[in-house]
């Protein structure tokens, strides 16, 4: 929870009361094993989930079996806050590692949004940033080379993980397979493998042993066309 609060507080101050209300949202904590579905497509839910520990992703499997990952959720992410209002989920949220997840009953969210307008706006913002990340992915998939696209993802995750204290220097853990990366980038596994090799050879970044190691942060950003503005990490009173 500390991480969620840290993230929200980046954008505007939270009062002690607001922090308390956030903490009180949680009804219980659940553990998921790698591969478990945290939220299953189609099944209406009565609570939203905050990732406390572990990595999860939002994905959709098409009828022909192809899979697309639309987002990664890291600790501190309110990963399906939107299910609070859009009960029917079109996607599955999948635990990629062991995950510890805080469950927030929707009726508590209704209460909080009735009583705490400022906190409501702060939560709203976090969903708006999710949308901004989606737009950046669309740009990546549409108009960036696979090389730049992968570089951009590594940049995005680096910045997001750093905000919640999950990087060490220029290194961070990204416990996914190359196949997962492929499904996030919309390319084939073979091509992912070759593009990773190219990123490595150019001395930008290495992805090995489920760890991302950035060799040249400035060059990586340049190659990716990465501009962190869209993550809205600066203070912006609401």
Q: Can you tell me which residue has the tokens 């499904």?
A: 183
Q: Which listed residue (53, 113, 126, 193) binds DNA by CB under 7 A? A: 193
Residue 32 CB, shortest distance to a copy of itself, in Å, is 21
The half-sphere exposure of 164 on its side-chain side, counting CA atoms within 13 A, is 20
Binding segment for a copy of itself (CB under 8 A), chosen from 141-149, 150-158, 189-197, 213-221, is 141-149
- Interacting span for a copy of itself (CB under 8 A) from 151-159, 191-199, 202-210, 229-237: 229-237
Q: What is the DSSP string of 133-185?
A: HHHHHHHHHHHS-HHHHHHHHHHHHHHHHHHTT-EETTEEE----HHHHHHHH
The count of other CB atoms within 10 Å of the CB of residue 238 is 13
Q: For DNA, which is the closer residue by CB, 187 or 219?
A: 187
The stretch near DNA (CB under 7 A) out of 10-18, 68-76, 150-158, 173-181 is: 173-181
Cα(50)–Cα(77) distance, integer angstroms: 6
User: Which of a copy of itself, DNA, none interacts with 205 (beta carbon under 5 to 8 A by kind)?
Assistant: none
Within 6-45, the residues that bind a copy of itself by CB under 8 A are none
CA 88, CA 42: separation in Å to the nearest integer?
6
Asked whether the beta carbons of 225 and 155 are under 8 A apart, the reply is no
**Residues found near a copy of itself in the complex (CB under 8 A):** 58, 60, 62-63, 66-68, 70-71, 82, 85-88, 90-91, 110, 113-115, 117, 120-121, 124-125, 127-132, 134-139, 141-144, 183-186, 225, 227, 229-230, 232, 236, 238
């Amino acid at each position: 929870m500390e991480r969620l609060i840290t993230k929200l507080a980046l954008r505007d101050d939270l009062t002690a009361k607001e922090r308390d209300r956030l903490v009180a949202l949680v009804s219980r904590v659940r553990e998921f094993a790698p591969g478990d579905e945290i939220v299953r497509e189609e099944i209406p839910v009565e609570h939203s989930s905050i990732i406390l520990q572990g990595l999860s992703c939002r994905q959709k499997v098409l009828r022909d079996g192809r899979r697309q990952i639309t987002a990664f959720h890291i600790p501190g992410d309110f990963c399906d806050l939107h299910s609070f209002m859009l009960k029917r989920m079109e996607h599955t949220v999948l635990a990629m590692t062991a995950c510890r997840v805080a469950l927030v009953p929707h009726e508590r969210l209704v209460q909080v949004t009735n009583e705490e307008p400022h906190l409501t706006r702060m939560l709203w913002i976090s969903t708006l940033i999710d949308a901004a990340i989606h737009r950046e992915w669309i740009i990546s998939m549409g108009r960036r080379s696979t090389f730049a696209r992968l570089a951009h993802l590594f940049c995005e995750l680096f910045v997001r993980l750093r905000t919640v204290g999950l990087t060490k220097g220029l290194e961070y853990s990204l416990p996914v397979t190359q196949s997962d990366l492929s499904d996030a980038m919309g390319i084939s596994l073979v091509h992912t493998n070759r593009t990773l090799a190219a990123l490595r050879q150019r001395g930008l970044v290495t992805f090995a042993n489920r760890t991302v190691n950035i060799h040249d942060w400035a060059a990586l950003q340049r190659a990716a066309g990465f501009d962190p503005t869209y993550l809205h990490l600066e203070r912006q009173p609401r």
